[in-house]
Structure 1
Amino acid sequence: MTAWRDSVTDVLALAVELSEQEDLRAAVIGSVEGGIIAGVLTACGGLLGGPLGLAVGGAVGGVVAAAVSRKKFKSVASIIMNDLSSTQKKKLVATLTNVIPSQLALMSASQLPPELKQQIIDAVKQFFGSHLNMHVE
Structure 2
Amino acid sequence: MISVREIRKNLGFNSAGLEVTKDHVHIDFSKPVEILSSAILNGGFTKASNIVNMKIPQNKSTDSSNKFPSPETTIEKYIESKKWKGKSVGMMTAANMKSFRSVRADKNGVIVQSFITMGISNARRAGDPADWKSFNSQNPKPGTINIILGT
- With the length of structure 2 as denominator, give the TM-score of the two structures: 0.28
- Higher strand fraction (1 or 2): 2
- With the length of structure 1 as denominator, give the TM-score of the two structures: 0.30
